[in-house]
Amino acid sequence: MPKKPLEALSEPMFYVLMALHRQNLCGADIVTWVNKKTGGRVALGPGTLYTILPKLTDEGILQEVGTEGRKRTYTMTEKGGMLYEAECQRLQQVVRDIDREGDEHRLPFKKEA
């Protein structure tokens, strides 16, 4: 069965791309960067990270650029940069849509009678 191409980014995938947007990093540095950027809200455990990295590499979104023992360093490819920019635009549009709806669509949720 042929592998299914990546159709959508999960939040952890998005943050991995954000971490690699301007710098090459190893897995441990990605985890530290994401933890700091999100204030710990997005936790990248080893199982999550080491599922994401090979998937994004297989899709041509990331590329391994160095190894030092077990430490592997990754960079974002041009394809990855385009995907990252498209996802940023999509998320910005979501926020604009929310803003156009006004404050009644923000928390706290109030169900209309």
pLDDT per residue over 7-53, tens digit each?
A: 678 999 999 999 999 999 999 999 999 999 999 999 999 999 999 99
3-class SS of residue 103 = helix
Q: Does pLDDT of 113 surpass 80? A: no
Give the containing element (helix H, strand E) for 2.
none
How many distinct structural domains can be found in the chain?
1
Contact in structure between 37 and 11 (CB atoms under 8 Å): no
Question: Whose CA is closest to 53, among 64, 42, 41, 43?
Answer: 64
User: What's the predicted TM-score (pTM) here?
Assistant: 0.83
Structural domain that includes position 34:
11-100
Q: What is the pLDDT of residue 93?
A: 92
6 contacts 54 by C-beta, under 8 angstroms: no
The pLDDT mean for the chain works out to 88
Q: Are 39 and 92 in contact (CB under 8 A)?
A: no
- Residue 103, pLDDT above cutoff 90: no
5: in domain:
no
Domain-located, residue 111: no
Within-domain flag for 60: yes
* CATH number of 39's domain: 1.10.10.10
